[in-house]
Each structure stands twice: as C-alpha cells, then as structure tokens.
Structure 1
Amino acid sequence: MRTHHRHVLMCVGPRCTPDGERAQAMFELMGEKIDARPELSIKRTRTHCMVACKAQAPVLVVYPEGVWYRVEDEQALDRIVTEHLVGGREVTPLIFHRLGSGDTGLLDAKEAACT
C-alpha cells in the first residue's frame, strides 16, 4: 500500500441514488480527480451503505478529519477535492456530520428500548 495522509471513503449505494448507479459514477469521477493531482497522498475506498440515507446523495467521509459530506453533483465533488483535499479547508455548506458529534443521547435511548 502506498503512503497516504488522508483516507476518503465513499458510499456507492444502493440507497443514496437509484440502484447506486450515480453513486458509483461519482466514486469513479472522484478517483479521476484525485489521480489527476499527483501531489495528493490519498487512499480512496468504496463502501456500501453507511446508514446515512437521509443525506439523499452519495456520502463521502474524509479521515483523519472525520468530516462527512453530501456529494449531490460533480460541482460538490470538485469543491471537496479542490478546497478540502488540496487546499485543506473544509467545505462547510456540504458537511452534514462530523466525527465526535451527533445525537448520541437519542441513540442511547433507542439502544435501551431494544434491550
């Protein structure tokens, strides 16, 4: 495995787009955009459902930052690659979740109800 400084995981469906086709196409496009930047040391991984279907678009997560993005179209993907992966600046309007934040109280209540 090559040295990498970031790991990008992207959901390819099937729930975020019909049959996951658009999500798979966005994953492939992301690969082209990353490969076109030889200065980037990024590991790219395709995942299946990340249980974030409310995003209504493919989900892309950047680690080690732990930033979860909605990738609604190619313009969003361009911004994530250019601004975050190259420029080191998060694309705030596209973020819907961050590592270490969330509705853990709600999840704890659901887990308690299931036991």
Structure 2
Amino acid sequence: MKYTKHVFVCTNDKEAPKKCCGSERGMELVNAFKEGLKAKGLDIEIRAQRAGCLDTCGKGPSVVVYPEGVFYGFVTPEDVNEIIEKHLIGNEPVERLVIA
C-alpha cells in the first residue's frame, strides 16, 4: 500500500438552504492538512485530499480518515494539527470531533 492513511475532506458545494462543506472552509482544510503533513515529513506516507459529499452536511465541514473509517465533523483549521498529532501519528481519534 502506497499510503498508510488517507484523509478525505469534503469540499462539495450544494445549493441553499443546505449547509455545504465547500463553502464552510473545505479547501482551507485540505490545504491545512497538506501543509501540516508536509511540515512533519508525513506527506509521503499519509495523503490528504479533497472529496465529494461525505453525506454529513449538517455536521460539516467533515473529514474522514481511512483505513479506520473515522468521520469527523465541525472541523476547523485550528483542529487540523490535533488530528494530525493524535490520530494520524498517535492512532487515537480526536473524540470531541468524531461523528458517532
């Protein structure tokens, strides 16, 4: 397997009145994950990329980490480093952001 983990960030945009991750900082989160992983030298083993709808619109912006399949909701740029440190490096999900 080329990557040990994948981080998918919803960047989908939908018409109002439905909330959408794209307009709620989706691409900002993609870029924050990419920059954070690169700064730690992890971008060769962990990939972060944009994704279409993750079907968690009301809890967006949303992120899913594979292979674990852990979904995160209401993610902000300030949460990215915590997800990288605790989950992507430490293999411990950030419980306060996990979508049950």
- Same fold, judged at TM 0.5 (above): yes
Name the counterpart of 2:92: 89
Count of matched residue pairs: 94
Runs of 4+ in 1 over 6 A off after TM superposition: none
Name the counterpart of 2:23: 20
CA RMSD of aligned residues (A): 2.0
Pair 39,25 (structure 1): closer, same or farther in 2 beyond 3 Å: closer
Matches within 5 A, 1:1-115: 3-14=2-13, 15-17=19-21, 20=23, 22-39=25-42, 41-55=45-59, 57-97=60-100
State the shift of 1:72 in Å. 2.9
Task: Structure 2: state its 5+ residue gaps.
Answer: 14-18
In the aligned structure 1, how far is the partner of 2:31 from the partner of 2:24? 11
Pair 72,43 (structure 1): closer, same or farther in 2 beyond 3 Å: closer
Deviations 1:8-60 (A, max 9, x none): 1110132434x5362111111111011112146112221122221120x2111
Task: Structure 1: state its 5+ residue gaps.
Answer: 98-115
Kept after mapping to 1: 8 A contact 2:61/2:76? no
- Which structure shows the higher helix fraction? 1
Q: What's the % identity of the aligned pairs?
A: 29
Q: Whose relative contact order is higher, 1 or 2, with alpha carbons under 8 Å and at least 6 apart? A: 2
- What's the TM-score once normalised by structure 1's chain length? 0.70
